Each structure stands twice: as structure tokens, then as C-alpha cells.
Amino acid sequence: REKIIEIIGLRTSFFTDEGEIPAVDNVDFHIHEGEILGVVGESGCGKSVTSLSIMGLVPKPPGKVVGGEILLNGQNLVKLPEKKMRQIRGNEVAMIFQEPMTSLNPLFTIGHQLIEGIKIHTKLDKKKSREKAIEIMKRVGLPRTEELLDEYPHQLSGGMRQRVMIAMAMACNPKVLIADEPTTALDVTIQSQILKLMKQLNEEMNTAIMLITHDLGVVAQICERVVVMYAGKIVEEGEVQAIFKNPKHPYTEGLIKSVPDIRTKTERLYSIPGNVPKPGSIKQGCRFAERCEYAFDRCFVENPELYPVDDNGHRVRCFLHTGEEETKHAGAFTTS
């Protein structure tokens, strides 16, 4: 499969009184055509800044993409003037967020916002845009579409509002949909309905999806591959099944342990102790070392690279998996 998005050496920083804060620090990954890629990590890991970088929406100042390339079908978005970027946003790459209320205007009806959006992006006339709006509303499972067009955002439930946002995003048939915590504000039942909807649209329209979440349980439901981020860097990447069965990075292990079990309805039992370090605060060594139960001497002085685990693109940034014999022996723990 072709790569629809390829990110090479992306660095996005914020310039503050304390100096340059690298929020995204040399990140490489790609999304295949029609694929659903999960991007996972705690808040502050750089996942949202990565998506804003792709959209050309990093607030500047203080933010700035300071290095790397973002290729959409081979075209480098980092170099594009804002005017060109505006054509790409919405048409080729669309985005939805956690709280649709922030993206919907409370003063206008659903119909006004949906139809205006379609008119701007497709250049259809008002009547055709309205027909298109109704068609896409049905497609995303919204009921009584005619009436809904005249209602205001606050009259809708959270789940319905997110369906409206998805309808707006999908109306222009984008090649890529970036969804940043799209189900975090919703209860579990609605959450899985929205995830199913995204999967369905992905299959019907072949839209590639970058699904950003702090919850590996969400990834398990619809993603094929996953990228795990920590403190601005990718720490593990691979196929979802492989990573769930055989996580290599201690951080990923912790994330898996903290997924609540939906079948047994158990609450989240585990959370990784400690916090993500402030970007830029760790100058030396593995960024996870302070929280890692396996940390040994080398972890505090050297930066681990992304080491390949297998031939299927599974990679991990951890000295326990360098493939070098001496590292295994130097480890502070032994596996039985």
C-alpha cells in the first residue's frame, strides 16, 4: 500500500522565556492509504502537536515547525504557503476534536454550519449542498435529518454532536481524517458507536485515519498499527496485535496494564506512577528512565534509538531490545 502521509524527522518547538521547548522531537512515521493508525500517549507526549503540525495549525508564535518534512502524497506541507494550506485543510486532510462544542458555533443551526461548510469546500450551490448535507448525515447515522438541520448544537447530545463533526469532516471526502481524542468526552457505549462509525467510513470511503488517544483500549478497537509517543518521541511502533501480545517498551507495557477490561467491567486498575517529564527537561538518557522499573546505568546517560524488533516494522526505543548481547546481560533484571 502507498503511504498517504509520511513524516520525516519532524521537530516542532515552542519558544518561551525558558528557551526552546521541543514538543515534537524528531518524529518519523507514516500512514498508508486507507489505514487507521493509532497515536497513543499521555497528555503532553506530543501527539496533539504532531497533528496540529500536519494541519499547519501550530499556534505561531510561540510554536513553530523547526525541522523535518510532512509529505502528503509526496508534497511537503511544511513548505506550503498558508493560502495553499487552507485548500488542503478540510479538503484533503480534515480534523475532529474531543469536544465538538468548541468547533461548532453555538449561535448557528446545525444545518447552517453543515451546509456552509459543504458550500465552501465543494463549491456546490445551496440546494445541492443541502442535499449533500442530508445524505452525509444519514451516512453517519444521524436521525430525523430534516428537523436536525434547524436545531442548535446545545440541543444535541455529545454523541450526536460528534456525529455532526464527523459529517462535516467527511463531507469533502478527505484522504486523511485526523481525530484527536474523538471519544474521550463520551460514555463507553457512545464511544464504541463512534469508533464503529469511523471504522465504517474508513472502509466505505477508504479514508485514512490518524486516531489520537491516551487510551490503548480505543486503539485495540479499530486500529491496524499504532505509534506510542512519550515526551515528544516515538518509543514504540508496530502492528496493534503484535504490540498487545508482545509489548517491548516498559511504557507500552504500563499503558496496556492500565486499559480497563470492558468485558469484566473492571475499572482502570493500574496507572503508571509519575508524570511525563516537561519537554526539553531531560537532556541526557532515556526520557522514561525516571519512571521505568527496569532502568539501569546506561539508561541515565545515553539516548536509546528506535531498534527494530522484527521485519514487520515493529520498533522500540529501549536498551533492553538493542539486539546486542552485552546489553541483555547488563540489564538490571532477568527474564525467566
d(CA 287, CA 278): 10
Provide long-range contacts, Cβ within 8 A and 24+ apart, for 74-82. 80/56, 82/56
The site that binds Mg ion (CB under 5 A) totals a number of residues, namely 1
CB of residue 180 vs Mg ion: minimum separation in angstroms? Answer: 6
CB of residue 100 vs ligand SF4: minimum separation in angstroms? Answer: 36
CB of residue 234 vs ligand SF4: minimum separation in angstroms? Answer: 13
Cell numbers that stand for 26 in this block: 524528531
Site for ligand SF4 contains 24 (CB under 6 A): no
Site for ligand SF4 contains 41 (CB under 6 A): no
Picked from ligand SF4, Mg ion, none, the partner binding residue 197 (CB below 5 to 8 A depending on kind) is none
CB of residue 320 vs ligand SF4: minimum separation in angstroms? Answer: 5
The angle at the Cα of 89, spanning 99 to 28, to the nearest 5 degrees, equals 85
Picked from ligand SF4, Mg ion, none, the partner binding residue 22 (CB below 5 to 8 A depending on kind) is none
Picked from ligand SF4, Mg ion, none, the partner binding residue 295 (CB below 5 to 8 A depending on kind) is ligand SF4
CB of residue 249 vs ligand SF4: minimum separation in angstroms? Answer: 6
- Bridge partners, residue 176, by sequence: 93, 208
The secondary structure of 277-319 as a DSSP string is PPTT---SS-TTGGG-TT--GGGGTS----EE-STTS-EE--G
Picked from ligand SF4, Mg ion, none, the partner binding residue 29 (CB below 5 to 8 A depending on kind) is none
Question: Which residue, 144, 199, 134, is CA-closest to 167?
Answer: 134
CB of residue 215 vs ligand SF4: minimum separation in angstroms? Answer: 21
Picked from ligand SF4, Mg ion, none, the partner binding residue 48 (CB below 5 to 8 A depending on kind) is Mg ion
Please identify, using beta-carbon distances, which residue of 89 and 328 lies nearer to ligand SF4. 328
Cell numbers that stand for 287 in this block: 526520557
Please identify, using beta-carbon distances, which residue of 177 and 299 lies nearer to ligand SF4. 299
Instruction: Give 77's Cβ-side CA count (13 Å radius).
Output: 27
35, 102 in Cβ contact below 8 A? no
In the complex, which residue's CB is closest to Mg ion? 48
Q: Cell 450551490: give the residue.
A: 125
Contacts of 89 (CB under 8 A, 6+ apart): 55, 56, 57, 95
Residues 260-319 that bind ligand SF4 (CB under 6 A): 286, 288-289, 292, 294-295, 299, 304, 318-319
CB of residue 43 vs Mg ion: minimum separation in angstroms? Answer: 6
Picked from ligand SF4, Mg ion, none, the partner binding residue 294 (CB below 5 to 8 A depending on kind) is ligand SF4
Question: Which residue, 287, 325, 288, 319, is CA-closest to 305?
Answer: 319
- Answer for which of 11, 27, 37, 48 binds Mg ion (CB under 5 A) is 48
Site for ligand SF4 contains 250 (CB under 6 A): yes
CB of residue 29 vs ligand SF4: minimum separation in angstroms? Answer: 19
Please identify, using beta-carbon distances, which residue of 29 and 97 lies nearer to Mg ion. 97
Q: Where are the beta strands (DSSP E) in the chain?
A: 3-16, 19-32, 36-40, 63-72, 75-76, 93-96, 176-180, 208-213, 225-230, 233-239, 307-308, 315-316
Phi and psi at 140, nearest 5°, equal: -90, 15
Please identify, using beta-carbon distances, which residue of 177 and 286 lies nearer to ligand SF4. 286
Please identify, using beta-carbon distances, which residue of 44 and 63 lies nearer to ligand SF4. 44
Which residues make up the interface to ligand SF4 (CB under 6 A)?
Answer: 249-250, 286, 288-289, 292, 294-295, 299, 304, 318-320
Which residues make up the interface to Mg ion (CB under 5 A)?
Answer: 48
